[in-house]
Amino acid sequence: MDFFIDDKVIEVPVSEGKYVCPFAQQRGGFRYMTISTRSHGEVALKKVYTTMNNMPSLKENLRDYSGYFHSNDDLCNTIWYAGAYTIQLSIIPANSGRRNDIVMPSTGWSNDVRCGYGSEVLVDGAKRDRSVWSGDRSISQLSEFIAFNSECGKTGTDWILNHQLENGKFPYACDPIYIYGSDTYHIWTMVSIYNTFFLNNNSQEWLENAWEKYKKGISYIWPQVDHTGTLKIKQGLDWGRPPIEDHSMSANCILYRALVNGVELAELVHDTATSKLYSERATSLKKSINETLWDEEAGLFFDNEKSSVHPQDGNSLALVHDVAYEDRKDRISKELTKNWNEYGAVAPESEGMISPFISSFELLAHTSTGNVDRSFELFRKMWGYMWNADYGVRSSLIEGYFKDGSCKYPFTFYDPAYISHCHPWATGPTIWLTFDVVGLKFTDHRHKLWTFSPKGVYAEGSLDFAMTGFRSHESGFISAGWKKVTEKILLMAIKVPEKTQGSIGVPIREGSEICKVEVDDEKISKDLDSTGSHLLIPRIGSGNHAVLVYYS
């Protein structure tokens, strides 16, 4: 069954010998197989075996991850790798997309149509839908970079760019589904272009070609910004919630991020006029969002100006994308926790959904405000439940579920058979644990600069130690980690690739002073620049380095 569609069975003639399933009828991510006969009689099966064809670039060694994570916490380790495995299962041969024209009329299934460029592509799910969706990639593309950094980071974006219409519109979902009608997913494509250049492919030629499509995409959507100074929705399809409408909070947050990213990209291609234009638009848009959609009484943003709902998506994105004014951020973080129940974060804008996609943004959102304890609580509550639920597969991460914890989803008419149990948009913890908890990331598109600034080391529910690493095509492998040696001593260590340098952020601990800092066994001055949450040790070059921090 697939969304109340009976996709039928494979008819196999009974005969002695070997049977191999045709390529088109191979299923992605299946976990069991039922074999039956049409008539009475006996059939003997001597051997059944499967071959995994996901992520062909790894060839015979599917364990060859380029990224890693390890800590003292089993759930953190498990979910990080479940995220990586979810990504891996969803990187499929680019010629094995699901034929929508066969599935929808209920005539069976056929996974033999091109769904991306190159040899492999990251799609929205291993079994369903096996197509590229730009909005999903706002999470999955980052997780893929951390775990694998394969060619699919770029090829997926190239596939979306190829679907841009003459008027500048990007698709909701690419071939083989091939559907338009989403303002949010249109804008998410611009975010994907930015992420592709900064994570997967820093070719100036590629950026210059993509930049023209980026500008065309902004030119398509910007006329929908009206007298309110905010974007008004025309095409409301989104991540599975009821269609967005009017001046949508989430869509405006994504547009703000696309404009801010566009300023940076414009400077890299020496397009000073567009850089100035996007900067002015971003400043104006942020002001209008905060004036038009803020609810002072609730301490949250409205879903739109006609709604009384305070959405999880829009408010989480307001923090992640730096849309909310600074004095509102902590309050938003606190109020978002009121949507939590024992199974996770219920999205008020939906009909009872718990969405690992939107909750991935909320996970990042709390940490961005300094409330890392809330991120840990949400992580343990929600991803812990997902992993241990009766219907959980305990290997990959589910698309979503209902507010009572059951395996159903409103937008699929509560059909549990339609839920994907391998959906990359649920992999936010893989990003959070690497980029935030360990705090390791590159800060420029050439991957010559990096930062190692752990967040929440001493937050409630935090870890005793954590380490991570990942690979850059340009600079090679980088790895870092931290460990609480004692209650008052923190060890930080990093392995820095050649021809790169960066800064190490020493966590400032509430209620305690930093007494001494040693870098590679040498005491350094405590007179360091401060971000408010970290003291920054600058200009750390290649090689292995260790920092000891002594607190009072």
Q: Where are the alpha helices (DSSP H) in 41-196?
A: 74-89, 100-103, 137-147, 152-162, 183-195
What pLDDT is recorded for position 418?
A: 81
Q: Where are the alpha helices (DSSP H) in 171-271?
A: 183-195, 204-221, 249-268
HSE of 367 in the Cβ direction (CA atoms, 13 Å)?
30
Task: For residues 123 and 137, give the distance between their C-alpha atoms in angstroms, rounded to a whole number.
Answer: 9
What pLDDT is recorded for position 107?
A: 65
Residues 6+ apart with CB under 8 A from 163: 170, 171, 174, 175, 178
What pLDDT is recorded for position 51?
A: 80
Take residue 552 and report the two structure tokens written for it: 């009072």
Q: Judge contact between 518 and 547, C-beta under 8 A.
A: yes
Which contacts (CB < 8 Å, 24+ apart) does range 394-397 have?
A: 395/82, 395/85, 396/29, 396/82, 396/85, 396/86, 396/89, 396/126, 396/421, 396/422, 397/79, 397/82, 397/83, 397/86, 397/356, 397/421, 397/422, 397/423, 397/426, 397/427
Which has the closest alpha carbon to 140: 367, 354, 357? 357
What pLDDT is recorded for position 362?
A: 99
What pLDDT is recorded for position 31?
A: 67
What pLDDT is recorded for position 11?
A: 82
For domain 56-436, give the CATH number. Answer: 1.50.10.10
Domain boundaries, the chain: 56-436, 439-551
Residues of the chain with pLDDT under 50: 1-3
3-state helix, strand, coil in the chain (%, to 5): 35, 20, 45
What pLDDT is recorded for position 1?
A: 34
Q: Per CATH, which fold does 439-551 belong to?
A: Maltose phosphorylase, domain 3 (2.60.420)
Question: The tokens 């991935």 sit on which residue?
Answer: 360
Which has the closest alpha carbon to 162: 118, 218, 213? 213
Rg (CA), the chain: 24
Task: For residues 19 and 86, give the distance between their C-alpha atoms in angstroms, rounded to a whole number.
Answer: 29
